[in-house]
Amino acid sequence: MILHPPITARYASSADKPAFVRQLFDNGAKYYDAVVDWGFFHSGAFYRRWTQKRHGLKPGMQLLDVAPRVRLCRIPGR
């Protein structure tokens, strides 16, 4: 992989890059659900319910969300 030089207008050194990138993701996170909802034609809640039912998840059962920052598998309202 070829790394680019530090973008000094944004971060001073390569050691500062991870914090800068993390901040980019953190700042955009509040928009993620709306963008995904729009991008998939508002089918997200339907798809989650369909997938959970297809894989045998029933009311009262628990689901381990392995991507908690993404939240695509969360059960709305819980």
* pLDDT at position 73: 53
Give how far Cα 33 sits from Cα of 5, 6, 9, 50, Å: 33, 31, 30, 18
- Say whether pLDDT at 23 is over 90: yes
Query: What is the pTM for the complete model shown?
Result: 0.47
Q: What is the mean pLDDT of residues 47-63?
A: 87
Where residue 39 falls among pLDDT bands split at 50, 70, 90? Answer: confident
16 or 37: which leads in pLDDT: 16
Q: What percent of the chain has pLDDT over 90?
A: 18
